[in-house]
Amino acid sequence: MDYFFASDIHGSAFYAEKMLDAFERSKAGKMILLGDILYHGPRNDLPEGYDPKKVISLLNPYREKILAVRGNCDAEVDQMVLSFPIMADYAYMVLNGVAFYITHGHKWNPENLPPMAGGTAFMYGHVHLPKAEKTGDIYILNPGSVSIPKGGYASSYAVLKDRTFSIRDFEGHTIKEITLEQTV
Q: Provide φ and ψ at 60, rounded to 5°.
A: -55, -35
Asked if residues 160 and 8 have their Cβ atoms less than 8 Å apart, the reply is: no
Alpha carbon 33 to chain centroid, angstroms: 4
Q: Is 152 exposed, middle or buried (0-12, 13-18, 19+ CB in 10 A)?
A: exposed
Q: How confident is the model at residue 144, as a pLDDT?
A: 98
Confidence of residue 112 (pLDDT cuts 50, 70, 90): very high
Using CA atoms, how far apart are residues 67 and 5, in angstroms rounded to an integer?
10
Q: What is the tens place of the pLDDT at every residue in 11-21?
A: 999 999 999 99
Q: What is the tens place of the pLDDT at every residue in 55-78?
A: 999 999 999 999 999 999 999 999
DSSP 124-169: --SS--EEEEEETTEEEEEE--SSS--TTPPPEEEEEETTEEEEEE
The pTM for the full model equals 0.97
Confidence of residue 135 (pLDDT cuts 50, 70, 90): very high
Asked if residues 22 and 170 have their Cβ atoms less than 8 Å apart, the reply is: yes
Q: How confident is the model at residue 44, as a pLDDT?
A: 80
The CATH number assigned to the domain with range 3-179 reads 3.60.21.10
CB count within 10 Å of CB 77 equals 9
Asked if residues 13 and 150 have their Cβ atoms less than 8 Å apart, the reply is: no
